[in-house]
Structure 1
Amino acid sequence: MRSIVRILGTARELWHLYLGIIVGAVAIAATALLMPFVIARATDVVVSMVGGKGGTVTTLLWLAGGLLVLSLANSVLTNLTGYWGDLMATRLRAILSRRYFRKLLKLPQRYYDNELTGTIISRLNRSITSITDFLQMFSNNFFPMLITVFAVLVISLVYSPWLALLLIIIYPTFVWLTALTSKRWQVWEHQKNEHYDIAGGRFAEVIGQMRVVKSFVTERDELKKFGDHYNDAVGLTGEQSAYWHKMDTLRRAVLDVVFFVIFAIIFVQTAQGAFSIGVMVMLIQLVNMAKQPVTGMSYLVDTTQRAIAGSHEYFKVMGEIDEPNNPLELDESGAAQPTVEWREDDPVVAFDDVSFGYGDTTELVLNDINLAIDRGERVAFVGESGGGKTTLVNLLMKLYPATSGTVEVHGQSVRDVPSELLRREIGVVFQDASLFSGTIRENIAYGIDDVTDEQLETAARRANAMSFISRLKDGFDTEIGERGIKLSGGQKQRLSVARALLKDAPILILDEATSSLDTKSERAVQAGLDELMEGRTTVIIAHRLSTISTVDRIVTLREGRIDEIGTPAELATTDGIYAELLALQGSTSRADKAKLARYDIVR
């Protein structure tokens, strides 16, 4: 429960709604509690009139009018407080969702290497929904009821200490018995959530790669895996629910016995003259009002447990360590935006004794990398798949921190430079064009404010993309679908080149964007890349020998270490990796093709 209180504390801007709900709950309880007193008085008047001992119809009508006023007030207050509760829950959901998304944007790349996208989304929906559903139910229904119960206990104490004692015993006993049950319930709930997360993660992957699923005819397998997780969740729910309801039956049986004793005391004491008929009716109503929360306690506890489980998951994500110098972290601190004195002389990029390993493993992916890249130089990395080519550019962009050594850009260690300022110096064109749903305009101008049509057209023309954009009915305002699904591979890559051109960063990283394209598309994209590389310091993860042959220097990597550095002409005469690739390029044998594939090289 502390975690839910913690969530309420983090959303202090909703204090006026919290206060309104509290005041409303007190007022609802007051109107509800006054009704039994009015009914008791009316009952005594009726009994008196039937017995010929006095009383008037006018008195009864006034009492009935009082009941009407109280009932109407109760209805208005209940709905007003319910409105505040709904508003609070929705606004809290918005606050928690924004903070969750903000946190995800602040987390380092390493976090996403270990999490499925669908799992992250599933966790967001489940944890925040369970929290807000509980608070909505609690504020709209149970909180007013709890205040009523407290008042009932006080009133019962005035009329009969024994009644008050029995009522006081009921609640802690019920909560204690429920807490014993909850320990096992929580274990099952966590197990179910794991199945939901895995199923949700796989669901998102399959939907995002439906063409692969269909081409390999794996619909049955995917459906079976997805269904198996839900079947396991159903099985766990059966055990969980059977145990919960068995224990709930026992708890309710104990309560029924206690309430039997309470009603028996009221009836006997009334018969003995301790209470009037009106007081007896009032006490019965008050006891029933006190009984309501107990009978609904199972639902409350069930909802509370889901909220507690959800809040644990929420705070687990919120407790992850942020990426150092993240732009959002700087915004939250309120500090002035930092500046960097970039060095103008060479080298532009430098790796100084850099080693790197993923996670907690002691195995290093990169070992003792020393490399300097000058202004305007084009450098290609060549090596076996998994040999550290992509890792090098990830370190350059500070997606991961180097295990040891220093990576420098413009003479500044990337460890010390704010991520935003560093990444604004670097443009990237990925091998798989990374586009978003929306328009062509939004994708080319991604991350850049106040882009004019003239700037868009210039970038698109230089990227050789204007030829197909101009043929589209809506031009730059054409919707391209999720991940640009409505465009061809060549068209998507030309948009990603245009995006990098518009960014106009002095350092360029190319995870060679033409390796998976047909010849015609490759020519169009390569023309854009040539335009993009002009005058920039370019780092290329090479996948085509034709690209490698045009660079200034080649860096070959073997088992995470630099094997050779030199111009294409120099390395062509050695016995190294590049010379081997040149010898293999004309071969048609299966073994030689396999060797090329091992180096991520396509013909």
Structure 2
Amino acid sequence: MNSLARILRSASALWPYYLGVVLISTAAAALALVSPFILREATDTIVSAVHGDVEVADVTTTLLWLAVALLVADLTNTAMGNIGGYIGDVMAMRMRQILSTRYYAKLLALPQRYFDNQVTGTVIARLDRSITSITQFLQSFSNSFFPMLIQVIAVLVITSWYYWPLTLLLALLFPVYMWLTTLTSRRWQKLEGKKNEQIDLANGRFAEVIGQVKVVKSFVSEVRELDDFGRRYGRTVDITRPQSSWWHIMDTARGAALNLIFFGIYLVLFFRTLNGQFSLGDMVMLIQLVNMAKQPVHMMSWIVDAAQRAIAGSRDYFKVMEEEFEPTANAELIAATEATGVPVLDLTPVQPLTPQAPVVRFDDVTFAYNEDEPVIRNVSFEAREGEKIALVGESGGGKSTLVNLLLGLYRIGEGTLQVCGRDVRDLSAAELRASVGVVFQEASLFSGTIRENIAYGRPGATEDEIVEVARRANAHDFIMRFPDGYDTVIGERGLRLSGGQKQRVAVARAMLKDAPILLLDEATSALDTKAERAVQAGLDELMKDRTTLIIAHRLSTIAGVDTIVTLRDGMVDEIGSPDQLAASGGIYAELLQLTASSSAADRARLKRYGLVVDGHGDEEDEEED
């Protein structure tokens, strides 16, 4: 239960709800205890009248008032129970809000390496299962079980006043039950962990398949994916069988132990009443009180089951929360992961750095995704303000790695990387990324409107600013052909747009961000020739007055750059202007020769560099321009 206590402490801002639950539960328990005493008085009064000790007419009014008192107590108890339920429901949802926000903040503050080893759907499934199990347990505990526990404590006090051996028998219920539960718990949790693993894998794959359903359908893989999904859930059924059998066998043992103890309690009550030590009213009252204790004991089977799930869920939750932050993570994100309530965030956009020489400088940089397996080694080059640098090399040679390092997605291993005259180690992730605009090969738009996607980096941008960058990105005309124009909802990942349209929206988005450094990571390689021409016109506008690093898939698109940096096996091979390298006999010169060739072998060698020959792409775009 330590992990659950840790959850409560981490959400200490909910203390008014905790206090409310305690007070309302105490009041509800007190009101529930009134009824047995009223029934005792009514029973003894009726017995006296039946035996002729008092006249029936004399007790009629008394019984009427006792019935009214019973009604008032029950109505008030019902009201208190529902007020407590309301407080518990709101508390649980606030708890879910806090835990989910902290979890989300943690994920946003984790380094890219964490996500390299995760399936997105599994991360989402873990959030849902872990936090749902925690909040559902707390909600059930506060709404139902906690008031009963208070009742049990009161019952133990009352029964000790009447006959202390009866209290001992009642008190014996709980250690016996908990001992038997402890015997059950360890094995149950181990099996629950295995079951959760299969559920996470199944749900992770589910999210992947739904997100790429077009690919799944095109490869006629629907049945295979469904079979794999069903098999994983089938394994959960296989795990549930021994898990549930073990639980219920032990629950039967627990129930039998409790039944034996209650057997002893009833014998005590019956024989003490028979011997005149309790009145009939006392026996009725004590039986009711004992049954009040019996209800939460029987409910413990369910509450312990829910607690086990919550504990297992909290372990998954805290496992993520204990991951190390990205070294330069936003301070607000870090604070949000530790907030005891809902964090108040400063939404003021981070301003980009002022360009200073060198705008970009790699100085003897070495980096490895996996230890002792460097992807780039001793890379050194620099880009001055307004300069265009092209990166050329074989696929897997480290070009995209340089982009990742400039975005601060990974920390360099050795050497120095400077951006706008400052060492990236001295910059926060927000400062660095605010200074770097990027257009990837995949546009990666969000669901929502075209307007929202263009303004993603500057949500406060005016209509005129959005339209201006859309015009410059060669996107305004196709946007206005939609009936809703800039308010057109484009669907998840922009599925309503063609490849060329999505990329032009991405160009407009980068243009509106207005960062001094621009990264083009094969920004047109996924497009056909017609779409590429439209996007390239936007990119030419975007590159104006910016320091640009380009990874291109056509040599024609880098012919006009200032400097070409060629990479071979993760190391810089040559640096120079296109004219210089064309005559050097190096990689670039070789690529120019291969481009001029029509042989299949030469074209295959070009593909190693991620390059295609101009004029040999597809001839039509999905869109109608």
User: Partner of 2:558 in structure 1?
Assistant: 548
Equivalent residue for 1:434? Answer: 444
Which residue of structure 1 aligns with residue 618 of structure 2? none
The match for 2:620 is: none
1:434 Cα deviation (Å)? Answer: 1.5
SS of residue paired to 2:24? helix
In structure 2, the CA distance between the partners of 1:241 and 1:588, relative to structure 1 (3 Å rule), is: farther
Deviation at 1:216, TM superposition (A): 0.9
Q: Give the letter for the 1:16 counterpart.
A: P
Which residue matches 1:389?
399
2:208 pairs with 1:205: yes
Q: Distance in 1 between matches of 2:101 and 2:366?
A: 37
| Cα distance in 1 for residues equivalent to 2:354 and 2:520 | 23
Q: Is the 8 A contact 1:106 1:329 kept in 2?
A: no
Q: What is the alpha-carbon distance in structure 2 between the residues aligned to residue 139 and residue 263 of structure 1? A: 30
Equivalent in the alignment of 1:309: 312
Q: 1:100 to 1:45 in 2, by over 3 A?
A: same
Q: Render the CA deviation track for 1:398-447: whole Å, top value 9, x for unaligned.
A: 11111111110121001111222222211111111111111111111112
Cα pair 1:40 1:282 within 8 Å, conserved: yes
Which residue, out of 272, 275, 285, partners 1:272?
A: 275
**Matched residue type, 2:110:** L
Q: Which amino acid in 2 is paired with 1:243?
A: W
The answer as to whether partners of 2:11 and 2:98 remain within 8 angstroms in 1 is yes
Matched, 1:172 2:201: no
Partner of 1:160: 163
Identify the residue that residue 235 of structure 2 maps to in structure 1. Answer: 232
Counterpart of 1:397, as a letter, is L
Q: Secondary structure at the match of 1:185?
A: helix
Instruction: Quote how far apart the aligned CAs of 1:341 are.
Output: 11
Which residue in 1 is equivalent to 2:374? 364
| Equivalent of residue 467 in structure 1, options 473, 477, 498 | 477
Structure 2 residue identity aligned to 1:188: L
Distance 2:274 2:298 in 1: 28
For residues 89 and 246 of structure 2, what CA distance do their matches in structure 1 show? 32
Q: CA deviation at 1:587?
A: 3.6
Among 514, 522, 525, the alignment partner of 1:515 is 525
Taking a change above 3 Å as real, the CA distance of residues 19 and 345 of structure 1, as seen in their structure-2 partners, is closer
Matched to 2:318, the amino acid is F
| Map of 1:42 onto structure 2 | 42
Of 60, 83, 93, 1:80 maps to: 83
* Alignment partners' CA distance in 2, 1:330 and 1:421: 14
> What is aligned with 1:2?
2
Tell me the CA shift for residue 197 of structure 1: 1.0
Following the alignment from structure 2 to structure 1, what is the Cα–Cα distance between the partners of residues 277 and 48?
17
Partner deviation per Cα, 1:214-265 (whole Å, 9 max, x = no partner): 1111111111111111111111111211111111111111111111111111
Q: Are residues 588 and 214 of structure 1, via their aligned partners in 2, closer, same or farther at CA, if it must alter by over 3 Å? A: farther
Q: 1:168 to 1:330 in 2, by over 3 A?
A: closer
Asked if the contact 1:199/1:226 (under 8 Å) is kept, the reply is yes
Instruction: Report SS of the residue matched to 2:153.
Output: helix
- Structure 2 vs 1, CA of residues 321 and 224 (structure 1 numbering), >3 Å: closer, same or farther? same
Give the aligned partner of residue 22 of structure 1.
22
Q: Aligned with 1:365: secondary structure? A: strand
Determine the C-alpha separation between the residues in 1 that align with 2:350 and 2:290: 69
Secondary structure in 1 aligned to 2:307? helix
Query: Which residue type is aligned with residue 513 of structure 1?
Result: A
Q: Superposition RMSD on alpha carbons, in Å? A: 2.0
- Contact map agreement 1:340 1:417 (CA 8 A) in 2: no
Contact map agreement 1:102 1:328 (CA 8 A) in 2: no
Contact persistence 1:407–1:413 (CA under 8 A): yes
Paired with 1:470 and 1:342, the residues of 2 have a C-alpha distance of 34
Look up the equivalent residue of 1:38 and give its one-letter code: I
Gaps of 5+ in 2: 337-343, 614-625
Greater alpha carbon shift after TM alignment, 525-534 vs 337-346 = 337-346
Match of 1:411 among 421, 425, 431: 421
Distance 1:172 1:591, change over 3 A: farther
Distance 1:600 1:201 in 2: 31
Task: State the distance in 2 between where 1:565 and 1:32 align.
Answer: 85
In the TM superposition, what is the alpha-carbon distance from 1:30 to its structure 2 partner?
0.6
Structure 1, residues 21-62: CA drift from partner, whole Å, max 9, x if none?
Answer: 111100111111111111111111111111111261222112
Give the counterpart of 1:111 among 114, 125, 145.
114
2:339 pairs with 1:348: no
Deviating more after overlay: 85-94 vs 5-14? 5-14
Give the superposition deviation at 1:365: 1.2
Q: In structure 1, the residue corresponding to 2:520 is in which secondary structure?
A: strand
Match of 2:99 among 87, 96, 99: 96
Deviation digits for residues 170-210 of structure 1 (CA, Å, limit 9, x no counterpart): 10111121022010111111111111111111111111111
- Give the Cα separation in 1 of the matches to 2:301 and 2:211: 40
Contact 2:454 2:509 in 1 (8 A): yes
Alpha carbons 2:441, 2:522 under 8 Å: kept? yes
Give the CA deviation at 1:340: 9.8
CA deviations over 1:441-498 (Å, ceiling 9, x no partner): 1111112143122211211111111120121111111111111100010000011111
Residue type at the aligned position of 1:484:
G
Provide the identity percentage.
59
1:134 is matched with 137
Please say if 1:71 is aligned against 2:56.
Answer: no
Alignment of 1:366-381 (within 5 A): 366-381=376-391
Aligned-pair CA distance for 1:331 = 8.2
Amino acid at match of 1:514: T
Is the aligned partner of 1:591 residue 2:594? no
Deviation of residue 119 (structure 1)?
0.9
1:228-267 correspondence runs (5 A):
228-267=231-270
SS at match of 2:392: strand
Q: Report if aligned partners of 2:438, 2:518 keep a CA contact under 8 Å in 1.
A: yes
Aligned-partner Cα distance in 1 for 2:80–2:396: 66
Instruction: Give, in whole Å, the separation in 2 of the partners of 1:10 and 1:114.
Output: 28
Count residues in correspondence. 602
Equivalence for 1:60: 63
| Deviation string, structure 1 residues 483-541 (Cα, Å, up to 9, x no partner) | 11000100000111111111111110001211111111111001111111112110011
* Equivalent pair of 1:342/1:411 in contact (CA under 8 Å): no
The alignment partner of 1:296 has SS state of helix
Contact preservation (8 Å) 2:353, 2:431: no
Q: 1:330 to 1:64 in 2, by over 3 A?
A: closer
> Is the aligned partner of 1:499 residue 2:503?
no
Aligned partners of 2:189, 2:132: CA distance in 1, in Å? 17
Q: Deviations over 1:298-323 (max 9, x none)?
A: 11011011111111111121222222
Q: What is the CA distance between 1:580 and its match in structure 2?
A: 2.4
- Structure 1 match to 2:500: 490
Structure 1 letter corresponding to 2:149: L
Cα distance in 2 for residues equivalent to 1:135 and 1:368: 55
Normalising by the residue count of structure 1, what TM-score does the alignment of the two structures yield?
0.96
Shift of residue 573, structure 1, vs aligned partner: 2.6
Contact 2:553 2:612 in 1 (8 A): yes
How far, CA to CA, are the matches of 1:341 and 1:23 in structure 2?
52
Matches within 5 A, 1:438-453: 438-453=448-463
Q: Distance in 1 between the 2:381 and 2:220 partners? A: 46
1:285 paired to 2:295: no
Checking the alignment, whether the CA contact within 8 Å between 1:106 and 1:328 is kept in structure 2 is no
Please say if residues 561 and 578 of structure 2, whose CA atoms lie closer than 8 Å, have aligned partners that are also in contact: yes
Q: In the alignment, residue 307 of structure 1 is paired with which amino acid? A: A
Which blocks of at least 5 consecutive residues in structure 1 are unaligned? none
Please give the secondary structure, in 2, of the residue aligned with 1:565: strand
1:243–1:51 Cα change, 3 Å: same
- The yes-or-no answer on 1:324 pairing with 2:314 is no
